[in-house]
Structure 1
């Protein structure tokens, strides 16, 4: 797994991860056939199935290896999701993988999503669910396909989370540290409002929400 994205994510590992209902969730929250901009798309775990559901999908990621791994039918663009401006509008902009929780670029990611919405378009995002207890999740093993994911440590200081996740697949293990900003609903609403967006509703999956312009 030598192809590593700029954020430290190994491309080969992320190609192994299946979607777990997110495409259907998003499909049900947008207009039929709506175009979708997937910011931080990775290798297309969500983008590919969305395209199969009839949505024109454009994925943006700063990892060239991630974009190269996108499935057929998804337009891929190598770029920084915090700053990219494509000069096009979409029916929906997707902020999965807790992009809104990025302490350095969360606001910029939201601004990018807002800048690409067509009239009546929506932003669909993923945040840590309100009331989530990171300390209680330490040591818990989860599986996505044949990959194993374990939260090894988590320290919460105010709204700042510092954590280490261990990944494993095919007998190979490695750890990745990350920092996140944990938002309550008030904080999420404020973040969205700063980009001219309005929190609309929670979706039927913990942490997933819809925002409108």
Structure 2
């Protein structure tokens, strides 16, 4: 794997830049836009190459895109970009919506997870919302090698999955485009809804509602709002 610069680079979390440049937005932009006012200001944490950023801009939303990878941010167009680690971010500004996608909530590192949520809380405006993408408890139970999807020349398939602790999973995804292939390994912590509420509570946030039928997107708001 190439860990240098340019489209072939691999970011610190193992994301292959070249592959993410091939992907179009799924329904993420629609989900996010449905949960904020028209023309809202958004802080997108972990924007990557702008796959969702560009779709949000097309919907008339104002986006500040944050990522720790300069290689990823180099491909974002039309949005203000900030290269920073999410857990350390403090822009001194607040937004109508803060987006924490890419299942960052499921990191097994308790301190890191709570730092992500704290960053969300300190950037959300009064009356605003935090939009979180996570892997629900039941989703982990369905994980198995071979599951995934193929759309045209692009394949995203779980190559390996292992339950290393009762509620901690280790997995490897295999990405393909024609003859090219990439792998990305990660760990994911499994939470019940009650544990999710407790994690949100560490940052003074409460779940307002789930935004999708599969429960992978939720809207959280500051407690007391």
Q: Give the TM-score normalised by structure 2.
A: 0.89
Relative to structure 1, is the Cα distance of residues 201 and 135 closer, same or farther in structure 2, using a 3 angstrom cutoff? closer
> Partners in 2 of 1:98 and 1:144 — Cα distance?
21
Pairs aligned (count): 212
2:90 alignment partner, SS class: coil
Number of the residue aligned with 1:212: 221
Flag structure 2 segments of 5+ consecutive residues without an equivalent.
1-6
2:54–2:76 contact (8 Å) kept in structure 1: yes
How far did 1:53 drift? 0.6
How far did 1:205 drift? 4.2
Superposition map of 1:20-35 within 5 A: 20-35=26-41
2:86 alignment partner, SS class: coil
Q: Does 1:47 align with 2:53?
A: yes
Q: Does 1:189 align with 2:205?
A: no
Number of the residue aligned with 2:105: 100
Which segment drifts farther, 128-137 or 179-188? 128-137
Give RMSD over aligned pairs. Answer: 1.5
Q: Give the TM-score normalised by structure 1.
A: 0.94
2:140–2:190 contact (8 Å) kept in structure 1: no
Deviation digits for residues 116-170 of structure 1 (CA, Å, limit 9, x no counterpart): 0110110001111331145543212313564211111212222211111111113
> Partners in 2 of 1:29 and 1:59 — Cα distance?
18
> Partners in 2 of 1:44 and 1:170 — Cα distance?
23
1:141–1:150 contact (8 Å) kept in structure 2: yes
2:85 alignment partner, SS class: coil
Given candidates 72, 75, 88, the residue that maps to 1:69 is 75
> Partners in 2 of 1:165 and 1:176 — Cα distance?
5
2:19–2:182 contact (8 Å) kept in structure 1: no
